[in-house]
């Protein structure tokens, strides 16, 4: 029973922590569409999310076992951390999906919507944790070319790689001295 409370507290702390990365557009779409989905669609989406999360936990567990077999301590620590987060988010998602089903069965649509939003938010955080786990072993799920286009800057003939020099050199402050020296 205490272990269950620890998992719930860990999951709540993860869900309430500020998000450092942008959420996937599909997650935002789920949250926005919550009020437009019917009960069957909500159940189908939640069960699909739970299934994908379970598969993600299994795949990261396999990566962890591989790292353990080769005794790569940095990967083991990194994967263990991500896997702990993923398992906690899976537990929260399963509980929320079950609660959503109960609320839908009793006709409490507002409470069901709330539980579905919890599922979608946990899904977004789970995707982030899975990406971090893949990064632990050098697999980047977002490999590809990045193009940066600067608009509105006149950089013709300017070497932007040169060091910037101040007109008036700034001298560092002298070290503090004691009056007793």
Can you give the pLDDT at residue 155?
A: 60
Can you give the pLDDT at residue 157?
A: 63
**Tell me: the pLDDT tens digits for 56-106?**
999 999 999 998 898 888 889 999 999 999 999 999 999 999 999 999 999
Separation between Cα atoms, residue 124 and residue 109, nearest integer Å: 23
Residues 6 or more apart whose CB falls under 8 angstroms from that of 34 comprise 42, 113, 116, 117, 120
Can you give the pLDDT at residue 36?
A: 76
Can you give the pLDDT at residue 139?
A: 74
Matching residue, tokens 């020296």: 181
Separation between Cα atoms, residue 181 and residue 174, nearest integer Å: 15
Residues 6 or more apart whose CB falls under 8 angstroms from that of 87 comprise 7, 57
Can you give the pLDDT at residue 98?
A: 94
The ranges of the chain with pLDDT < 70 are 1-35, 140-176, 178-181
């Amino acid at each position: 029973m205490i272990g269950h409370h620890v998992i719930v507290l860990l999951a709540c702390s993860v869900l309430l922590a500020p998000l450092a990365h942008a959420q996937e557009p599909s997650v935002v779409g789920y949250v926005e569409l919550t009020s437009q989905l019917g009960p069957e669609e909500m159940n189908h989406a939640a069960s699909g999310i739970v299934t994908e999360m379970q598969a993600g936990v299994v795949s990261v567990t396999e990566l962890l076992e591989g790292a353990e077999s080769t005794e790569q301590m940095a990967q083991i620590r990194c994967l263990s951390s991500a896997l702990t987060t993923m398992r906690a988010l899976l537990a929260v998602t399963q509980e929320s999906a079950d609660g959503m089903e109960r609320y839908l069965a009793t006709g409490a649509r507002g409470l069901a919507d709330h539980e579905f939003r919890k599922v979608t938010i946990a899904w977004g955080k789970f995707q982030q944790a899975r990406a971090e786990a893949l990064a632990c072993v050098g697999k980047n799920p977002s490999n590809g070319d990045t193009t940066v286009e600067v608009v509105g800057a006149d950089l013709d003939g300017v070497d932007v790689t040169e060091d910037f020099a101040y007109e008036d050199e700034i001298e560092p402050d002298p070290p503090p001295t004691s009056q007793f020296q």
